[in-house]
Amino acid sequence: MNTAQFVLDNAETQPEAVKAKLIELHEKGETVEDILEFVVELQARQIKVPYPGKLTFDVCGTGGSGKSRINLSTALALKLSKNYCIAKHGNKAASGRVGSFDIIETLNLPVGDTPEKVSQQLKNYNLSFVFAPAFHPALKALAPIRKEIPHPTIFNYLGPLLNPVPLAGQMIGVPSLEVGDKLAQVCAHLNKNAALVHDTAFGLDDVSIGGATRFWAVGANKEIRTGAFFPEDYGFKTVTDFAEIAGGSLVENQEIVKQLVAGTATQAQQDFLAINAKVAAEFFDRMRQVV
């Protein structure tokens, strides 16, 4: 029995042992091999969604920045769905402050918790917020364990890699250069078309409006291309104060998402959304040409 099998098979009957194993993995540093092991095991146990009949994409970050941040990817999915089919994989907060589904469930957005719902929503709205726990029953017993651990676990890295919808490509936010390097290698091993981004100015798992964005572009033949760019490269002014794009409580983040969708958010917040949308669209358009 490997580590992934032990954790998934014993979360209900041996929660303390599983908790200790997750902490041990975190303290030694999760390797590419560790992450791949968990992804393969969870993919074998997940409930899958059939190909929806059109090229579909995801925008999902790992979280784990430790910052009081807004739920940008929720607003980003809404914005992108006007031109792209988006299956946004997500969950309620586990180790973070406010998860995407803590926001989504209060905004009357299309939540997909069965394969049939997801397929229908992608067909009708070009958008489905895919509720991860409904497609990964093996993770149910792990939720209370994760809440007891005061730091990200290997499961923070797994979320973006486990969308049950077949994807043509995805943009994945990562909280550090180390995680970006690891997940890019995992995506290459899994033959995933992915663009990973990290905000090196504020340490967020988004395209940066505050300075340099480091990126890893994973494409054909498992090639990984790396580089960096700045807000000015996309026509935006750099925001130097994190407070201008910071989030807050659940209620505050809900309101910010509403304002972003309505176009009434602050200029810094709207630019933050816009640069992420531009970079995602650029990558998705490239995937449309090669798929």
Please say if the pLDDT value at position 92 is more than 80: no
Q: Given the structure tokens 């798929």, which residue do they identify?
A: 291
The upper half-sphere exposure of residue 244, i.e. CA atoms within 13 Å in the direction of its Cβ, equals 17
CA nearest to 169, candidates 135, 195, 206: 195
pLDDT value at residue 69: 82
How do residues 2-22 score in pLDDT, each as one tens digit?
Answer: 999 999 999 999 999 999 999
| Residue 108: Cβ within 10 Å count | 7
Check residue 248 and give its pLDDT: 84
The bridge status of strand 213-218 relative to strand 224-229 is antiparallel
> Percentage of the chain with pLDDT > 70?
95
Q: Is the pLDDT reported for residue 38 higher than 90? A: yes
Question: Residue 211 pLDDT > 90, yes or no?
Answer: yes
Q: Does domain 3-48+55-290 have CATH number 3.40.1030.10?
A: yes
CB 280 within 8 A of CB 169: no
**In the sheet that 194-199 helps form, which strands lie side by side, from edge to edge?**
111-112, 127-131, 85-90, 56-61, 169-173, 194-199, 213-218, 224-229
- The number of residues in the chain equals 291
Q: Which residues pair with 214 in a beta bridge?
A: 198, 228
Identify the pLDDT of residue 97: 57
Does 90 have pLDDT greater than 90? no
- Over range 102-106, report the average pLDDT: 74
Average pLDDT over residues 253-262: 91
Q: Give the pLDDT band of residue 221 (cuts 50, 70, 90).
A: confident
d(CA 164, CA 263): 31
Residue 98 has pLDDT above 80, yes or no: no
pLDDT at 56 over 70: yes
160 Cβ contact partners less than 8 Å away, ≥ 6 residues apart: 58, 60, 61, 62, 89, 170, 172, 183
Separation CA 72–CA 81 (nearest Å): 14
CB 93 within 8 A of CB 102: yes
Q: Which two tokens stand for residue 22?
A: 């997750």
Higher pLDDT, 251 or 93: 251
Report domain extents, the chain: 3-48+55-290
Q: What is the mean pLDDT of residues 252-275?
A: 94
Is pLDDT at 77 greater than 80 in this prediction? yes
In this predicted structure, what is the pLDDT of residue 95? Answer: 45
